[in-house]
Amino acid sequence: MSGEFRFSFGPWNIHEGADPFGPAVRDSIEFGKKLKMYRQLGFEGVQFHDDDAVPGMDGLSGEQIIKKAKEVHSILESEGLVAEFVAPRLWEDARTIDGAYTSNDPACREYARQRTHRTLDIANALDTKLVVLWLAREGTYLREAKDSKVAVDRIVEAINDMLAYNPEIKIAIEAKPNEPMDHTYIPTTGHAIALGLLCDDPSRIGANIESAHAILAGLDPSDEMGFALAHKKLFSVHLNDQNGLKFDEDRTFGAVDLRRAFNQTRILDQYDYGRGGEFVGLDVKAMRTQKLEVSTKHLSNSRTIFLRLVELARTLDKNKVEELIGQRDYEELDMLIINHLMGK
Ligand code: XUL
Ligand code: MN
């Protein structure tokens, strides 16, 4: 079964363990070394923030940025890897403190626009047509501080500008309800798809669904995926897990709630996710307690769990499921699923 899915992750998923309350606990692994780990871990797709590919890009000219991104593309080729997507990192610069596209300050919005153009140049140099938009600070801590109607208009304007800048790119919006903001303007997949309908070419706007983000919105990730699949909008996924409504934990896929993970693999497999070239993307972090030499297990374990759950989805007795649905015996259906997950 393995081999039907292509897997991806971003270099930030191998990290040093810093959190808001404490510094790094592991040494950094140099970018080139991380790329060498991809194939060994069973991955062929690399997800990028723009400055993962071109660090310090705000201090470089447009030409310098493209040159550096092309160098990264050559390294990818030599490692047998491809870039899945590039995402503008619009939440660290001082000019994005109050949001990027939705900032109240026109000079800050202009910075975001220019930075996004460079992101698209990088995507082009890395030979990917997919751009992910995690709209990190497009929200508020204080409802009265920004106008939510104007904010949506401004995000639409920014997306239209991207669509016009490169007529070939597709944009996957990664919805998240909170963190770093109290509330964001695009909290769920439904919001992302509806936002796309306001844009100049809705066919080029879809979603990147992260399991943890859906859970933080109080939703079931597999239902979010079903919604996107029904709209033909599931451009990518960020599989991981999450223990309740707290900070974004980015746990190993399936490590918290195996059944919830099973339902995600089941719907993805059932509706041929990946056949159109989509990657099974992971956005997982090693626990802070993990020692450096074993700090990539969360990635290979997530992949293994995904593939085992695909097998379980395929070996589930479908006739029995249909029969129990017909009888409306959902208690027995519940037991069937539990038994199946327990190997009984
Ligand atoms: C944030 C998050 C990001 C995006 C890419 O919660 O998931 O890493 O996936 O910008
Ligand atoms: Mn993510």
The bound ligand whose nearest atom lies closest to the alpha carbon of 136 is 1
Which residues are paired to 10 by β-bridges?
A: none
What is the reported pLDDT for 57? 98
Mutation choice for ligand 1 from 122, 134, 285, CB with most ligand atoms inside 8 A: 134
Whether 93 is catalytic is no
The mean pLDDT value for 70-87 works out to: 98
What gap in Å lies between CA 41 and CA 35, rounded to an integer?
10
Mean pLDDT across the chain, nearest whole number? 97
Q: Is 19 helix (H, G, I), strand (E, B) or coil?
A: strand
Residue with the nearest Cα to atom 2 of ligand 1?
A: 134
Exactly one of 49, 73, 213, 238 is catalytic; which is it? 49
Confidence (pLDDT) at 1: 42
What pLDDT is stored for residue 187 in this prediction? 98
What is the pLDDT, as a whole number, of residue 207?
A: 99
Residue nearest to atom 1 of ligand 1 (CA): 134
| Contacts (Cβ under 8 Å, ≥6 apart) of 85 | 47, 48, 123, 128, 130, 131, 132, 172, 208, 236
Compute, in angstroms, the gap from residue 209 CA to the centroid of ligand 1: 10
Angle between helices 62-79 and 106-125 (to 10 degrees): 40
Q: At 68, list the tokens.
A: 């550096």
- The response to whether residue 85 sits with its C-beta less than 6 Å from ligand 1 reads no
338 vs 322: CA distance, rounded Å: 16
Arithmetic mean of pLDDT, 3-21: 95
* Residue 2 pLDDT exceeds 50: no
CA 20, CA 262: separation in Å to the nearest integer? 31
Over residues 145-159, the pLDDT tens digits come to 999 999 999 999 999
Mean pLDDT to the nearest integer, 174-199: 98
At residue 219 the predicted structure's pLDDT band, cuts being 50, 70 and 90, is very high
Confidence of residue 212 (pLDDT cuts 50, 70, 90): very high
Do the beta carbons of residue 125 and residue 80 sit within 8 Å? no
By three-state DSSP, how is residue 265 classified? Answer: helix
- The reply to whether the predicted model has a pTM over 0.95 is yes
Residue 39: helix, strand or coil by DSSP?
helix
Question: pLDDT tens across 278-299, in order?
Answer: 999 999 999 999 999 999 999 9
- Which one, of 94, 86, 70, 7, lies nearest residue 42 by Cα? 7
- Collapsing DSSP states into helix, strand and coil, what is residue 71? helix
Residue 74, class by beta-carbon neighbours within 10 Å (0-12 exposed, 13-18 middle, 19+ buried)?
A: exposed
Q: How far is the CA of 35 from the centre of ligand 1 (A)?
A: 19
User: Backbone phi, then psi, for 69, in 5-degree steps?
Assistant: -65, -35
Q: Which residues contact 332 (CB under 8 A, 6 or more apart)?
A: 324
Question: Does the pLDDT value for residue 167 go beyond 90?
Answer: yes
Look at ligand 1, atom 4, and give the residue with the nearest C-alpha.
Answer: 134
What percent of the chain is predicted at pLDDT more than 90? Answer: 99
pLDDT in tens, 195-204: 999 999 999 9
* Residue 51 a catalytic site member: no
Provide mean pLDDT across the span 262-271. Answer: 98
Whether the CB of 134 sits within 6 Å of ligand 1: yes
Q: Which residue among the candidates 50, 51, 52, 248 is catalytic per the annotation?
A: 52
- pLDDT average, residue stretch 136-143: 96
Residue 3 has pLDDT above 60, yes or no: no
**Cα(9)–Cα(33) distance, rounded to whole angstroms?**
15
H/E segment holding residue 234 = strand 234-239
Inform me whether the pLDDT recorded for 255 exceeds 70: yes
Q: Is the CB of 298 under 6 A from ligand 1?
A: no
Task: Decide: helix, strand or coil at residue 217.
Answer: coil
Q: Cα(302)–Cα(36) distance, rounded to whole angstroms?
A: 19
Quick one: pLDDT band at residue 44, thresholds 50, 70, 90? very high
Q: Separation of 134 CA from ligand 1 center, angstroms? A: 6
The predicted pLDDT at position 119 comes to: 99
